Amino acid sequence: VILVVGLSHRTAPVDVRERLSAGAETLTTVLSRLAARPELSEVMFLSTCNRVEVIAMAPDDGVDAALRAIREELSSHGGLSGEAELSPYLYETRGDQAVLHVFRVAASLDSMVLGEPQILGQVKGAHDAAVAAGALKGKLGRCLTRAFAVAKRVRTETAIGAGNVSIASVAVDLAAHVFADLSDHAVLLLGAGEMAEAAARSLSRGAHALRICNRSFDRAAALAREMHASAVPWDGLESELVQADVVVASTGSQTPVVTRPMVKRVMKARRGRILLFVDIAVPRNVEPAVHDIDNVYVYNVDDLEHEVARGLQARHAERDAAEKIVSAEVAQFLAWSRGLDVQPTLVAMRAKARALLFAELERTLAGRLRHLPEGDRAALHQMLESVLNKWLHAPTTKLRARAADGDAGGELAETVRFLFDLPQMTAAREGERATNGDGGEGEEEDERLPH
Amino acid sequence: VSRWAPWLVALGVPLHAAHIVVSSLVWHVCPVEGIHFAMSVVSMLAALTYVIARSRFRIDVVGAFVAPLALTFLLASRFVGIAGAPKLRSAILPFHVASNLLGVALFTLAFASAVAYLVQERHLKRKDLHGVFERLPPLDALDRAEHRFLVAGFPLLTIGIVTGTLWAHEVEAGGASEIARAAFGYASWGLFGLVLLLRAAAGWRGRRAAYGTIAGFGFTVIVLVLYLVRDATTAAALATAVKP
């Protein structure tokens, strides 16, 4: 059964989350410790800034032990004294609910910013790390790869990732609607505060140049080194405005830094070239009247946040459609995975029938039919093979169909094992053997799950 | 729809060109003679230039304006007046018509870009970043496209104006509509020239350049309409003259 134990922005404050999160190096350590636990047959460790989760596979009769093992590893990883300290923040899901959770997380339906695209990459990273550590090899691995496909489907079939939901992305989108190609335009960052940094960073990605102008030149120079930009002195502001095409303003000034008369002069020197101000400072750095000058556009924090709110609203409107896709996919995955549970029974049934038939055949061929030439022997083999297939076709398909519908506790499979006197095995071992062993049949099963 | 539209325009151009060639063969009319044929050629040329310039200037949406304009020109050439009015032949005439046709085609595109620019500019000033705003090309791409179409069309219009003046001297035509046509022709030439001059000298970009372009194009359209009306009236005069 699949288990999820973790905490997220919904259940834990940031100081708890950061204690449990894992970087590239700590990830391998915690992953190998988790993988070494005998209670878990497969395991994966997902760590993002908003969530820390252990996704694992455990035998049906060992769920409680597995959960305990995960909690132990989590609290020792976070350097916590005991489980009690952690338990108020943890959530646990298992079985069908765990599959639903994994699919929803990958599809960004459980993210702080609904539909944000990073989470899928983060889940993929965690998956790859677990695969590299050899901790993901069976049904859980398939659950994850399925989750990626579902996330992609959600993204293409709904508008859950559409619209801009951050100030920076709104600013970039706005600039793209004003300038066809930012690569021949320069971006000027006014003020070296954190606020403008994100917007300037994403804007400057495609820009020809990024300049930073700050009252304290040292601060500007420091930030410029960090962002591969150039720092310019504060007195040169007006001439910088002539050069730049997009200006991101975020100084802490109480009065406007950029005034209407100043921009009037600047526009004359620019010979009317378009100038876009993104003013995310409060109080505003750019006089509102600047917006009325020809070929000058001023967007302040309210304008941008209005767009952000609009984007979020649009995403929330898509939530239902996305949830519908996810639950349909979960049902399909569960049906496939239940089908997997009867696989060992099917294999055993076939093996037993085959062994019986061919033992009898060999005996007859060694005795009364000794005189038969090689060609006739091959024909008899072929005939028995065909009888076997035809005879077992109906029980095989019926058993699979019943399992996919959720054969309660594998009742029918149990009956088959009883009737044919097949070896008894626990459902858990079955699942494991089905995914690890008998390659041919397993692959055939795989094809039934849409990729 | 947006994916197919440009291709439909691209498909229409060769068909239209084929139509022009075939019908000129059938009717034994030189394509550059007579305003009806000329209008048809203008609409074809405008569409052709759009198809060529589309990807270079990132101005897909201009097609939304060009296609209906081309259709209007085409319909005008079909239904207004009757083709085949008597021609005053001259060596200058083909030059006059050909350069004007190409010029008008380019101005049509400049006009379409200017309209799109104004729509986009208005949205930006009103801080309304949705609806049609999302579909239109970036502001500076429209401004640049408009400018380039004007720069390309202006020398052609100049040739058209010069040859027209020379021709008018040759045939000594002096009707009221002739004078009006010449006046509007000069006015559009002057306006386009002014738009280009002010842009180069005083940095008149964007909105002002767009208004200038639209006004200049308006005068060009008036000239074309006057041609249509002339052909219609001469045709009507011919018809009444023939009757008795």
| pLDDT interval class at B244 (50, 70, 90) | very low
Whether residue A449 is predicted with pLDDT greater than 80 in this model: the reply is no
SS3 A193: coil
Closest chain B residue to A311, measured at CA: B130
Q: How far is CA A67 from CA A56, A73, A94, B86, in A?
A: 9, 10, 10, 98
pLDDT digits (tens, 9 = 90+) for B36-78: 666 677 777 777 777 777 666 655 556 666 666 666 666 655 5
Nearest to A179 among B140, B202, B206 (CB): B140
| pLDDT interval class at B13 (50, 70, 90) | confident
Using beta carbons and an 8 Å cutoff, which residues of B are at the interface with A?
A: 58, 120, 124-125, 127, 129-130, 133-134, 137-141, 143-144, 199, 202-208
Distance, CA of A314 to CA of B26 (rounded, Å): 59
Distance, CA of A388 to CA of A375 (rounded, Å): 20
A365 touches A372 (CB < 8 A) = yes
| pLDDT interval class at A141 (50, 70, 90) | very high
Measure the CA angle with vertex A169, ends A163 and A171; round to 5°: 115
pLDDT at A440: 40
pLDDT at B82: 44
Nearest to A177 among B139, B202, B207 (CB): B139
| pLDDT, average across residues A198-227 | 84
| pLDDT, average across residues A29-58 | 91
Q: How many CB pairs under 8 A join A and B?
A: 54
Q: How far is CA A334 from CA A44, A106, A448, B187, in A?
A: 19, 17, 12, 76
pLDDT digits (tens, 9 = 90+) for B92-146: 666 777 778 788 888 988 999 999 999 999 999 999 888 888 888 899 999 988 9
Contact B139 A268 (CB under 8 A): no
| pLDDT interval class at A436 (50, 70, 90) | very low
Considering only A159-163, A270-274, A338-342, A377-381, which range has the smallest mean pLDDT?
A: A338-342
**CA A61 from centroid of its chain's CA atoms:** 29
| pLDDT, average across residues A415-427 | 77
Measure the CA angle with vertex A160, ends A157 and A166; round to 5°: 150
Bigger pLDDT: A23 vs A438: A23
Q: Which residues of A fall within a CB distance of 8 Å from B133?
A: 177
CB neighbours of A312 closer than 8 A, spacing ≥ 6? A113, A114, A163, A165
Contact A177 B58 (CB under 8 A): no
Give the distance from residue A308's alpha carbon to the nearest chain B alpha carbon, in angstroms: 12
**At what angle are helices B35-57 and B139-171 packed, to 10 degrees?**
150
| pLDDT, average across residues B196-222 | 89
CB neighbours of B92 closer than 8 A, spacing ≥ 6? B163, B166, B167, B170
pLDDT at A375: 92
Q: Which residues of B fall within a CB distance of 8 Å from A177?
A: 120, 124, 129, 133-134, 138-139
pLDDT at A274: 93
Instruction: Tell me how crowded residue A114 is: count the other CB atoms within 10 A of its CB.
Output: 18
Instruction: Tell me how crowded residue A255 is: count the other CB atoms within 10 A of its CB.
Output: 9
Nearest to B207 among A291, A294, A303 (CB): A294
pLDDT at A171: 86
pLDDT at A341: 77
Bigger pLDDT: A296 vs A137: A296
Contact A177 B206 (CB under 8 A): no
Distance, CA of B210 to CA of B111 (rounded, Å): 8
**CA B160 from centroid of its chain's CA atoms:** 13
| pLDDT interval class at B156 (50, 70, 90) | confident
> Measuring CA to CA, which residue among B96, B83, B111 is closest to residue B182?
B96
Bigger pLDDT: A201 vs B199: B199
Q: Which residues of A fall within a CB distance of 8 Å from B144?
A: 180
Closest chain B residue to A300, measured at CA: B127
pLDDT at B14: 74
Distance, CA of A198 to CA of A168 (rounded, Å): 6
Contact B58 A174 (CB under 8 A): no
Closest chain A residue to B145, measured at CA: A180
A226 touches A257 (CB < 8 A) = no
pLDDT digits (tens, 9 = 90+) for A107-134: 999 988 888 888 999 999 999 999 999 9
Please report, in angstroms and rounded to a whole number, the separation of the first and last CA atoms in chain B: 55
**CA A217 from centroid of its chain's CA atoms:** 42
A345 touches A395 (CB < 8 A) = no
ipTM: 0.72
Q: Look-up: residue for tokens 């996704």?
A: A55
Give the distance from residue A114's alpha carbon to the nearest chain B alpha carbon, in angstroms: 21
CB neighbours of B221 closer than 8 A, spacing ≥ 6? none
pLDDT at B89: 54
Edge-to-edge strand list for the sheet holding A275-279? A230-232, A209-213, A186-190, A246-249, A275-279, A296-300
Nearest to B206 among A268, A295, A307 (CB): A295
Handedness of CA A224, A229, A232, A237 (dihedral sign): negative
Edge-to-edge strand list for the sheet holding A91-94? A42-47, A51-57, A2-8, A91-94
| pLDDT interval class at A16 (50, 70, 90) | confident
Residues in chain B: 244
Bigger pLDDT: B171 vs A201: A201
CB neighbours of A336 closer than 8 A, spacing ≥ 6? A404, A445, A448, A449
Q: Which residues of B fall within a CB distance of 8 Å from A180?
A: 58, 137-138, 140-141, 144
Considering only A56-70, A268-282, A317-331, B224-238, which range has the smallest mean pLDDT?
A: B224-238
- B37-67 burial, b for 16+ CB within 10 Å, e for fewer? bbbbbbbbbbbbbbbebbeebbbbbbbbbbb
The DSSP string of A275-326 is EEEEE--SS-SB-GGGGGSTTEEEEEHHHHHHHHHHHHHHHHHTHHHHHHHH
> Measuring CA to CA, which residue among A224, A152, A135, A219 is closest to residue A188?
A224
Residue type present at position A377 = R
Q: Which two tokens stand for residue B113?
A: 């870009």
| Residues of A with catalytic roles | 49
| pLDDT, average across residues B212-217 | 92
Closest chain B residue to A171, measured at CA: B129
Average pLDDT, chain B: 75
Q: Look-up: residue for tokens 């979960």?
A: A330
Give the distance from residue B203's alpha carbon to the nearest chain A alpha carbon, in angstroms: 4
| pLDDT interval class at A146 (50, 70, 90) | very high
pLDDT at A394: 92
